[in-house]
Every structure is written in C-alpha cells, then in structure tokens.
Amino acid sequence: MSFTRTGVILYVDEYVECVDFYRDVIGLPVAFDTPDLTCFEFGASYLMVERGDDDHGSTPDTRHSMCLRINVPDVRARADALARQGIGVDYQEHDWGTVAKFTDPAGNLCAFKDDETFEKQMAAGPGDVR
C-alpha cells in the first residue's frame, strides 16, 4: 500500500482567524488557497484549514473538527477495498478532486484524496482569493 502524501485537515468556524494564526503567528508557508480553504506546508505533510465540515446534515455535536487525509493514486480502488472489509465509505467526486471519507474504530474522520488534483493545486501555489 503506497501513499503519495499525508495531511491533516482542520474544519473550523473561525476560518480567517485560524488562517491568520497558522500563517502569521506559527509561520507556516501557504502552499495554496481557495475561498474556503488554505493549505499550508507542514514538514513532509500538509495542514489544511477549511471552513466547517459540511458533512451531510451533521450537527455541532456530531460534526468532525479534523480529518486525517491520505493522498493516493486511485481513490475508487481504496474505497472499494474498505467497503469489502465492511467499512462504510462516503465516496465523493468534485470539480476539485475525489475523496473517500470513512472513520476509524474510534470514530475519527479519515479520507483518501486523489493525488493528481492535489498535486496540481500544490503546483499552482497560493492565490489572492480571500
């Protein structure tokens, strides 16, 4: 099983304040950004700060505040492999890429993300979208 990159996603309600904190106070360089997320370089990984998770009708009590993300070449194959093991998977295709969300046995949110679109975002770099 090969992973191309890993990252942590923080889903926050205080988006602007958190972006300012990680960029200006902590000093993390911005890798790329969009109106709803900012991706920071984070060692050999990445830290993504994203506006609150819109996880299918979740409530503040059930909403996830972070996600362990694993970039892979073939999200569909990984999602199918999890499903064969009896793990519930939410497979999603978007214009910004493909993800498959699932939880570990303790309920922590995890996701596979297609490496191809993520690397294109990384190569494009930050923009002035805020």
Domain residue spans of the chain: 5-124
DSSP-assigned letters across all residues of 62-95:
T--SEEEEEEES-HHHHHHHHHHTT---EEEEET
Distance, CA of 108 to CA of 66 (rounded, Å): 8
Per-residue model confidence as pLDDT tens digits over 41-65: 998 899 999 998 665 455 555 567 8
Which DSSP letter does residue 105 get?
T
| H-run or E-run covering 17 | helix 15-20
Choice between 62 and 5, residue whose per-residue pLDDT is larger: 5
- CATH fold for domain 5-124: 2,3-Dihydroxybiphenyl 1,2-Dioxygenase; domain 1 (3.10.180)
Instruction: With a cut of 70, say whether residue 80 has pLDDT above it.
Output: yes
Decide: pTM greater than 0.85. no
